Amino acid sequence: MQIPQQPISIRIPGAGTIRVANDAAGPDAMECVRWDPGTELDEPFAIRDGRVAYLRSITPAARPLIKAAMKKLSPETSRRRFFTVRHELSEAELDRMTNLDGWNQYAIGAVSVDADGCTEGVGADFALLVVDGWQHQGLGSALLLRLVAIAASRGIERFVGSVLSDNTPMFALIEHHAPLAVRTRGRDFDTVEFTLESHGIRFAA
């Protein structure tokens, strides 16, 4: 997400919010990664089934978590986020996603932490992506609302995102939190735009 220092419209490829949720650890579970981001944002969030995710600012330390999460996306979740099925990101893409200055470029991730202190990526920035095992539990709403609050504090006035026309869950999320959002239909994807102040963002998850 690009965050200019002056109020200005921003464009978010891939749909206003990306939710990424990981399945339970299996035979292909990743190596233990202990992520201590050292930022002000480390909020616990209990999802509907009782599991807890921690919302954290994305730093270069999140790189292995993002790589592992990509491999666990279902084809449909991947297609909705990237407009095609992808399970790997290039090194350059990972650099752009994780080497952020915290102001002009900012992203939120969500992780789960097991009893041994190992972390697993379960959520990502705006665009919003949630890996399959954590979907439909309220995590996407939590990520979106935290991002809206942070964007507003930095003077951002408007969100603009591109969403695949058949991405029903994303449109439902946007309609719930930004019921006055303007949707412009396109050939393969639609453009959604909402202004934080005038569109009355609903902060209830």
Tens digit of pLDDT for each residue in 150-173? 888 887 888 888 899 999 999 999
Strand ranges (DSSP E) for 39-81?
42-46, 52-57
Rounded percentage of the chain residues whose pLDDT exceeds 90: 22
- CA nearest 69: which of 20, 138, 15, 118? 20
Q: Which residue has the tokens 């309609």?
A: 175
> Is residue 16's pLDDT more than 70?
no
Question: What is the per-residue pLDDT for 146?
Answer: 85
The pair of structure tokens assigned to 126 is 């705006």
Q: Which amino acid makes up residue 17?
A: T
Tens digit of pLDDT for each residue in 17-54? 222 233 333 434 446 777 665 555 577 889 899 998 88
Mean pLDDT value across the chain:
75
DSSP 8-state class, residue 24: P
- Determine the Cα–Cα distance for residues 164 and 112; give it in Å rounded to an integer: 28
Q: For residue 127, say if its preceding peptide bond is cis, omega within 30 degrees of 0.
A: yes
Cα–Cα distances (Å) from 153 to 8, 22, 88, 190, in that order, read 13, 30, 33, 28
- What integer is the mean pLDDT of 120-124? 69
Q: Are 67 and 121 in contact (CB under 8 A)?
A: no
Rounded percentage of the chain residues whose pLDDT exceeds 70: 74
pTM across the whole model: 0.69
What are the backbone angles phi and psi of residue 9, rounded to the nearest 5°? -70, 140
